[in-house]
Chain A
Amino acid sequence: MSKVAVFNQCPGSEVRAESPLAHLASIKGGSSLVVTEHAFLGHLILRGQADNESLKAAVQSVIGVELPLQPLTLALNETTGASVQWLSPDEWLLILPAGQEYDVEQNLRQQISGHFSIVNVGGGQTLLRLTGSKVFDLLSKSCVYDVHERNFPVGKGVSTTFAKATAIIRRPNEQEWELVIRRSFSDYCYRWIADAGREFDLTFTV
């Protein structure tokens, strides 16, 4: 018996999956603020010591990016779309293309030695991509964190409050922002965004 119980939690495609926003309707609007849900991605929480060489090597070889050790940073694999985000000194969020989370976890487990943990959290959160000229305004209305480009350059990611919920805010590239929201708060976040985005002619695709 393995010391840690890991199993593929995804059924075959014949089972209908429901994202946390499944019960909500898309909103048609303009292009100045466009929010799109990217559901069913693989989300893993990796915990371990930053000076564990095997951990760094494993992330490099499995994900193809350097493990971000600088606080509040994000490493992206442009080819695969996978990303690794620093969450705390011993904690990273891995977001992977849909369906890869089990294989990635297995591969990482094989390559990492010493004390670490990997936990699948994909059912508990979803990712929203935000584009358009009014993203700054939407975020400024919603969270206390300074999202000005001088404080929030591309490659940054923070865990902060979003209205009265928690969220991870990330900036993978010049054009896009990402919000990672918790499943149980996603209805609230949707309604908050729909409300705050009304003056910007929000488009919200779920």
Chain B
Amino acid sequence: MSQVNRLGSGGYIDRTQTLTFTFNGNQYTGYKGDTLASALLANGVGIVNRSFKYSRPRGIVAAGAEEPNAIMQLGATEAAQVPNIRATQQALYSGLTARSTNGWPNVENDAMGLIGKLGGPMMGPGFYYKTFMAPASMWMTYEKFIRKAAGLGRSPKEKDPDQYDHYHRHCDVLVIGAGPAGLTAALAAGRSGARVILCDEQEQMGGHLLDTRDQLNGKDASLWVSQVLAELATMPEVLLLPRTTANGLHDHNFATLHERRTEHLADTAPDANQVRSRMHHVRAHQVILASGAHERPLVYANNDVPGNMLCGAVSTYIRRYAVVPGQRLVVTTTNDDGYRAALDWAEAGREVVAIVDARPSPEGDCVKEARKKGIRIITGSAVFEAKGSKRVTGARVSGVDPATFTLTGVKDDLACDTIASSGGFSPVVHLSAHTGTRPIWRDDIIGFVPGKVKGLTSVGAVNGVYALDRILADAAEAGTNAALASGFNVAGVELPSVTKQLESKPIALFQVPHEKPTMRAPKQFVDLQNDVTAAGIELATREGFESIEHVKRYTALGFGTDQGKLGNINGMAIAARLLNQTIPETGTTVFRPNYTGITFGAIAGRHCRDLFDPERYTALHAWHLQRGAKFEDVGQWKRPWYFPVGNETMHDAVQRECRAVREKVGILDASTLGKIDIQGKDAREFIGRVYTNKWAQLGVDKCRYGLMCKDDGMVMDDGVTTCLGDNHFLMTTTTGGAAAILEWLELWHQTEWPELEVYFTSVTDHWATMTLSGPKARDLLSEITDIDLSKDTFKFMECRQGQVAGVPARVYRISFTGELTYEINVQANYAMHVWKALFAHEHKYGLTPYGTETMHVLRAEKGFIIVGQDTDGSVTPEDLGMQWCVGYDKPFSWIGQRALSRPDTRREDRKQLVGLKPVDPKVVLQEGAQIVLDPKQSIPMKMVGHVTSSYFSPTLGHGFALALLMGGSKRMGEKVYMPMADGTVIEAEVVSPIFLDPKGVRQNV
């Protein structure tokens, strides 16, 4: 098909660059500079979709973000699929492939349309709620059916080949919208030297000036646009962002701008290094909102039949794209702007059948111009019904009295194929409302304007100012003031001269009355995208929905990708009339980000796949990788979990590693433990206040285990702290708790005890820690150290400094396995050298690397807790049976002490740490299994505790577990039961949590 509706000249398209594209399987051509919508209209494609609920044929209505119907599924390949793209916002490129999101088998002949026709009268508002509510169990089935029928587009099934990213920006002045107001404001601010960002969602900046009949400086307005853009482009501190939608305006003038960088070029980015779209996170000192206004359609019967359009859109297609979307036009308007469409249409050489003006006696300059051109003007009237089904064939016109909501005078039928309507303008207040500010109704402009938002100034049409000369003056002032507010001196802007146009006042008309009552008249659509009709709103109010928020949810008004851009004001006005109240009394619904849909990729940016979350590595990570370690996530750390040899299973590997530590020697990379260097003369006192146990007598080079409680008396962390000097301690924390504990210490120091002279510094990453554990640990270490390791010189819970493999080291003789253990700490840059030096003796001593799983088994055999596994924030030191680690008579009240005297923490039936030994030695209990005392009781059973840690011990030869059990310390020897999900019940004996070497002989050798 040729471009039947394309004019021979004019527009901002490049006729030398023909582009081929596909829509619903058919090939068409357009030109560079077209949108998909303008190209479809140029080719005479009238039906672009089927409607959401009634499956009625729909055509293009608008030319911008407010388009409700032309919602497309884009993408020539599966991986490039993008749903819910407005054809009006999609630049045409060669090879573009689009499909309607609705319509099966196709938009021309739609199976659902029949259902819509049959079911239509019954599908009132609340249809889905009423029909599909019960039974609730069927909802998933209903939903599939509804989604298939409704067809909201689909996501790709293949991996997205494109890249998306984020970019943080800061500016003095952010100008949103590059129409006359935005351009002028940006120029005024930019000339001051301020940092300015000007963004506009369209392909081309200029906004309304690209299709206006107004002239600037006596010339085509687009010339002025080019001049301003050229000047802005020379300013180093001004950033122009075309194709960039301001999607959200958040607190403190933080704005999210979605820039489409390659969407206008191809399905996927032409160059692999190119970012397809970019989210700018902008922190602006001042925001100038120049988002303009959307024209409101009039609500009349069958106003959804293809061929019904907005007046402004008609002008845009003619003047910007040289496309006349029909042959014979009827305009129905409440204001002077509607006349422009008729004048443009007539100048394009096509027939204007009539302008139907709701005002009794319009006298503006446009009106005079239309009269002079001989266009028929029918005043005091409106189109109250469109004729036709797949295309408008005529307009039914009548006198109308908006005050009484009745038709008056004679009726007339006009033959036409296009009806353009204008019911006035709705300022695009969305962004101003994102921060929670309610828009304010103004009777004089028949619309809402933005409410007051700190640091935000609205200029131009969004502020209800429509006269071009005033827009420019206001914008210059706003730009100037924003620059001043940001501390810049103003350079000033000279404003272009505007030919003054005399306008007559618009009239308030939203729904056009019909000869039949609304409920019986043909459908009068308010929200085209969601198929919400005037009758639907009437029914909602009749059924008692009086709040506009309830009407919205009952009818779906303003739902979906549309967010009420075209329909909201009409819907509110209709509800207000029906409820016999004013529009401000009725109020608006809440506008939320995002203004238009954003692809998920842009939201995620580069924070995906291997960059989704940082992986923290120790200095020995490369060795672990080479050794084939399996890793476990501990916080953000990757810790070796176990080191399988050959085809070993995890169980086999862990059993082998456990035996190696108990019988020979193993080594663990413990570098992830949190380490805090504490210096100052009050360091000891401070430590005594944050730990539960006593520190006053700990000598230099001695280590002590400490338990830390929150102020509620519950265990929050544990670890060994070493006295390195009288004023110098090294505290270790759990791997996951490192950052939080440092903050905790700083918090208490800075807010409660600032008089204590103590400083904390994190050295977690500085020291690499290698834990050499097992009966052969001494023999192995002695091969490469000058430290005297003899048992009477270097005792358990002591620290020594010396050389290990030629590297200065601190060695701590502490143990988390119960075996003879040396923790070797070196500056992390030298860790690999020391580790390899130890492994040079691997075979002589049977040195075995072990991971966290083996560590867990070994420590559990000893009854050593893991904070966060055996505790959960509701466990006191006493619950753990660790009274030995509580300094009840310490002189200063340590954190948590008072909480331990509360009646609740003194209860005898608190959950207490116990060991569990399954009666069947082969059984390994499930961690998290609930414990009951009587397995025969009826459900719900009384649960008295749960398993916190459970393993199989090769040393003990049976499964064993740690558990928290109500009154557990007094239940030693009793049997408890764990009913499992499969109906089996596991029996276990309550035992001491210390399964191995209760006297600690092995670690003291």
Write the residues of chain A forming the contact surface with B, with a CB cutoff of 8 angstroms: 1-5, 7-12, 14-20, 22-23, 39-40, 45, 47-48, 90, 115-125, 137, 140-141, 143-146, 148, 150-151, 163-165, 182-185, 187-188, 191-192, 195-196, 198-199
Q: Which of A4, A23, A151, A184 contacts B170 (CB 8 A)?
A: A151
B606 — which chain A residues lie within 8 A by C-beta?
Answer: 141, 163, 192, 195-196
* Residue with the greatest number of chain B CB neighbours at <10 A, chosen from A18, A40, A145, A163: A18
Contacts A/B (CB < 8 Å), 13 sampled:
A7-B801, A11-B803, A117-B677, A119-B679, A123-B619, A123-B765, A137-B167, A140-B167, A140-B168, A164-B614, A183-B766, A184-B764, A192-B606
Distance, CA A2 to CA B679, complexed state (A): 12
Q: Which of B724, B768, B808 contacts A10 (CB 8 A)?
A: B808
A164 — which chain B residues lie within 8 A by C-beta?
Answer: 607, 613-614
Interface residues of B in 88-134 (CB under 8 A from A): none
A119-B679, A183-B828 are known contacts; what are 17 more A-B pairs with Cβ within 8 Å?
A: A9-B826, A15-B830, A16-B833, A19-B829, A22-B832, A48-B759, A121-B761, A121-B765, A123-B767, A124-B765, A145-B168, A163-B611, A185-B616, A187-B615, A188-B611, A191-B611, A196-B606
B766 — which chain A residues lie within 8 A by C-beta?
Answer: 120-125, 183
CB closest residue in chain A, given B275? A199
- Confirm or deny: B827 has a beta carbon within 8 angstroms of a beta carbon on chain A: yes
A119 — which chain B residues lie within 8 A by C-beta?
Answer: 677, 679, 761, 763
Distance, CA A182 to CA B674, complexed state (A): 14
Interface residues of B in 804-847 (CB under 8 A from A): 805-808, 826-833
Q: Which of A16, A40, A184 contacts B765 (CB 8 A)?
A: A184
Distance, CA A80 to CA B260, complexed state (A): 48
B767 — which chain A residues lie within 8 A by C-beta?
Answer: 123-124
A141 — which chain B residues lie within 8 A by C-beta?
Answer: 165-168, 606
CB closest residue in chain A, given B677? A119
Q: Is there an interface contact between B764 and A124, defined as CB atoms closer than 8 Å? A: yes
Distance, CA A198 to CA B920, complexed state (A): 59
Q: Is there an interface contact between A3 and B726, defined as CB atoms closer than 8 Å? A: yes
CB closest residue in chain B, given A114? B757
* Interchain residue pairs A-B with the least CB separation, the first 5: A124-B765, A124-B766, A117-B679, A123-B828, A184-B616
A8 and B808 in contact, given A117-B679, A199-B274 (Cβ under 8 angstroms): yes
Size category, B interface: 35 or more
Q: Which of A117, A137, A199 contacts B759 (CB 8 A)?
A: A117
Q: Is there an interface contact between B621 and A23, defined as CB atoms closer than 8 Å? A: yes
Closest Cβ of chain B: how far from A86's Cβ, in Å? 16
Q: Which of B273, B759, B764 contacts A47 (CB 8 A)?
A: B759
Closest Cβ of chain A: how far from B945's Cβ, in Å? 37
Closest Cβ of chain A: how far from B426's Cβ, in Å? 35
A188 — which chain B residues lie within 8 A by C-beta?
Answer: 611, 614-616
Q: Is there an interface contact between A124 and B763, defined as CB atoms closer than 8 Å? A: yes
B614 — which chain A residues lie within 8 A by C-beta?
Answer: 163-165, 185, 188
Q: Is there an interface contact between A11 and B619, defined as CB atoms closer than 8 Å? A: no
CB closest residue in chain B, given A184? B616
B727 — which chain A residues lie within 8 A by C-beta?
Answer: 3-4
Distance, CA A35 to CA B201, complexed state (A): 35
Q: Is there an interface contact between A191 and B679, defined as CB atoms closer than 8 Å? A: no
Q: Which of B725, B763, B805 contacts A1 (CB 8 A)?
A: B725
CB closest residue in chain A, given B675? A124
Closest Cβ of chain B: how far from A49's Cβ, in Å? 10
CB closest residue in chain A, given B803? A11
CB closest residue in chain A, given B836? A16
Q: Is there an interface contact between B169 and A45, defined as CB atoms closer than 8 Å? A: no
Distance, CA A123 to CA B831, complexed state (A): 10
Q: Is there an interface contact between B829 and A122, defined as CB atoms closer than 8 Å? A: yes
Q: Is there an interface contact between A4 and B725, defined as CB atoms closer than 8 Å? A: yes
Q: Is there an interface contact between B759 and A198, defined as CB atoms closer than 8 Å? A: no
A183 — which chain B residues lie within 8 A by C-beta?
Answer: 619, 765-766, 828
Distance, CA A17 to CA B613, complexed state (A): 28
Q: Is there an interface contact between B765 and A122, defined as CB atoms closer than 8 Å? A: no
Distance, CA A183 to CA B831, complexed state (A): 13
CB closest residue in chain A, given B728? A4
Q: Is there an interface contact between A192 and B677, defined as CB atoms closer than 8 Å? A: no
Q: Is there an interface contact between A195 and B611, defined as CB atoms closer than 8 Å? A: yes
A4 and B283 in contact, given A23-B622, A164-B614, A184-B617 (Cβ under 8 angstroms): no
Q: Is there an interface contact between A2 and B808, defined as CB atoms closer than 8 Å? A: no
A90 — which chain B residues lie within 8 A by C-beta?
Answer: 759
Q: Which of B281, B677, B726, B806 contacts A15 (CB 8 A)?
A: B806
Q: Is there an interface contact between B757 and A115, defined as CB atoms closer than 8 Å? A: yes
Distance, CA A185 to CA B283, complexed state (A): 27
Q: Is there an interface contact between A14 and B832, defined as CB atoms closer than 8 Å? A: no
Q: Is there an interface contact between A182 and B830, defined as CB atoms closer than 8 Å? A: no
Closest Cβ of chain A: how far from B280's Cβ, in Å? 9
B803 — which chain A residues lie within 8 A by C-beta?
Answer: 11
Distance, CA A191 to CA B614, complexed state (A): 10
Q: Which of A5, A145, A148, A199 contacts B725 (CB 8 A)?
A: A5
B761 — which chain A residues lie within 8 A by C-beta?
Answer: 45, 47, 117, 119, 121
- Confirm or deny: B637 has a beta carbon within 8 angstroms of a beta carbon on chain A: yes
Distance, CA A40 to CA B607, complexed state (A): 30
Distance, CA A61 to CA B992, complexed state (A): 61
